[in-house]
Amino acid sequence: MKRVVLTVEQTVKIRDEIAAYLAKYNISINQFAVISGIHSGTLSRVMKGQQALAMNHLIRVTHAMGLAEDYFYSMYVDECLYDSAPTWRRLRPFLLQCAALMRMDCIERIVQNLLDNLLYVPLLFEVAEELFQQKNWQAASLIYENVGASEKYQHSERLALCKYRLFLISLGDDPHSNLIAATLFEGYVGKLDEVNQLDALKQLAHTFGALHKWDKVGELAEELLRLASLQYELHKGTDRTHNNEQGHVRPLYGYILYAHLLRAHVLEECGDYKSALEIVPMYMDYSWIREEDEEAQRTIAQFQEWGTANNYLYRLMDGQIEVLGEYVEYISTCENEIFTALFKIVQSANRYNWDVDHILKRFADYIPYRQYSSVFGKRNKLILNDNYAQFRSELATYYLARRRYTGDKVIMQGVGLSAKIDSEHNVIRGTISVDFEINISDIAKLG
């Protein structure tokens, strides 16, 4: 059925609704002013059409009338946009309220109307940023998309930041969707401001890493190293840090160290363990870092831990079984490293036909992986999920090679997780090897 669009004169105003309510319950304006907590003079002017209804007054009126909080929102959009010239003092709090109550229809109408006037672009962008900080992803996305569309021919920093925020918001459990999101965003990285550019490169590296696109991760790591090093030198003598999208402070030297870590990880994934070992000292060396504060000490300590663990790890994966005992004792004191170590130990055991039953028994409680944090925040969920799926597959292979049926349950659970995250490699590997199930908790009983 065709919708009838009323003119402003035909549209029922909020004040008409209030008047009908007062008449129905025989309440005077002064009495309603007391009930609602609005000054009687203000309420009188609103009822006469001499004063616009402010957002805080709308909230009070709605509550006093016993109506749903967003009952008047569609009407309020009309009054804000058409009854008088739009004023940001009314629209900004209304947008935030609409976001809180998930009234995307109202947000979209306001945003699309306001963007006809480019003066509102930076104001709307600021609201989107506020909503992003509040993790109100749906409302933030809607505004970012519209602001980005209004600036698509400007190639501006604001456009790039809109694209970056939309990329972050869109990341989820579907690898194919993440690949599309990363590919669409990648071209905007160079237009981002310094504050976000380094984080964007790191986020892209994580996304492509979860998809096993190591050539791309290598390129991003090199660019991260180049830009972070350049910025660190440019800001020599100043206390220069970056605020990321969640407001955390990250030092520039941390990105330099992290870029080296990524470079080594790419070589590890490509099986070049000797070259990976050569890069480890690059992120363990902190002699060039000028800062000496607590943050610097914490960051340095984190990379020292990673470097020590990876020094053992790369030698182990290169077939040097003599370091296995030292590696196990080291990671036993570093809870954040235990799951990764178990994964790589089992992978190496399969490659070189080692017996590591005693290690699996010792760390059985760590096999259901946990979420860990570092100086760079929580580890990437997709990478962890992918590693866990691979670990299940490697663990099943290990037990099946020793003719232990326990492996079948392990690999079936691995296939289940792989199917959930759509990891084609692990699903295929799992389904080839398995026909039945036994509980993974039996691992603790083996050895």
The full set of domains in the chain, from first to last, is: 1-84 (1.10.260.40), 211-318 (no CATH), 326-447 (no CATH)
Residue 174 has pLDDT above 90, yes or no: no
Residue 246 has pLDDT above 60, yes or no: no
pLDDT of residue 223: 97
- pLDDT category at 203 given cuts 50, 70, 90 is very high
Residue 233 has pLDDT above 70, yes or no: yes
pLDDT of residue 85: 81
> Which region among 160-164, 167-171, 234-238, 395-399 has the lowest average model confidence (pLDDT)?
234-238
The string of pLDDT tens digits covering residues 46-95 is 999 899 999 999 999 999 999 999 999 999 999 999 877 889 999 999 99
Q: How many CB atoms lie within 10 A of CB 66?
A: 8
How many Å apart are CA 398 and CA 354, to the nearest integer?
A: 9
Q: Using the 8-state DSSP alphabet, how is residue 368 labeled?
A: S
Residue 447 has pLDDT above 50, yes or no: no
Q: CB–CB of 261/313 below 8 Å?
A: no
How many Å apart are CA 205 and CA 223, to the nearest integer?
A: 10
Residue 194 has pLDDT above 90, yes or no: no
Q: CB–CB of 184/167 below 8 Å?
A: yes
Q: What is the mean pLDDT of residues 152-178?
A: 89
pLDDT of residue 163: 96
Q: How many CB atoms lie within 10 A of CB 287?
A: 4
The letter for the amino acid at 433 is S
- Give the mean pLDDT of the chain: 84
Residue 196 has pLDDT above 50, yes or no: yes
Judged by DSSP in three states, 243 sits in: strand
How many Å apart are CA 162 and CA 184, to the nearest integer?
A: 12
Burial class (CB in 10 A: 0-12, 13-18, 19+), 228: buried
How many Å apart are CA 263 and CA 320, to the nearest integer?
A: 22
pLDDT of residue 118: 87
Residue 304 has pLDDT above 70, yes or no: yes
Q: Using the 8-state DSSP alphabet, how is residue 249 labeled?
A: E
Q: What is the mean pLDDT of residues 147-151?
A: 91
Per the document, the length of the chain is: 447
How many Å apart are CA 313 and CA 264, to the nearest integer?
A: 12
How many Å apart are CA 412 and CA 401, to the nearest integer?
A: 16
